[in-house]
Amino acid sequence: MKWTSMVAIYGLLWVLSAFIVMPIGLRTPDEVDDYTVEKGHADSAPVNFRPGRIALRATILAAGLCGLFYLNWTQGWITRQTFTFFGGAPVDLGY
């Protein structure tokens, strides 16, 4: 696999990871006792949004997922022939 492909896969996994870890640890004004919502702000907006922490968590998760993807690529644990659709036998695609 080319290194540019791995960079692209890591980027996709990083964005996916960012959306997965984004809600972890966020608190809304309803969950904080002494916080008042200012005029013009949404009631559901988080009061402790930390994009640096989200980026760090996403980077760690994406690195782990990318490592698993690479191991699967080299070891061949899950391949296209693993999946059968419509209840039929696996199809040999010839590659």
pLDDT for 47: 87
pLDDT in tens, 49-86: 899 999 999 999 999 999 999 999 999 898 877 777 76
- Average pLDDT of the segment spanning 3-22: 97
CA distance 90 to 20: 33
> Using CA atoms, how far apart are residues 22 and 19, in angstroms rounded to an integer?
5
pLDDT, position 12: 98
For residue 10, give the nearest of 81, 45, 62 by alpha carbon.
62
Q: What is the pLDDT of residues 21-50, one digit of tens each?
A: 999 998 888 888 877 888 888 888 888 889
Structure confidence at residue 57 (pLDDT): 97
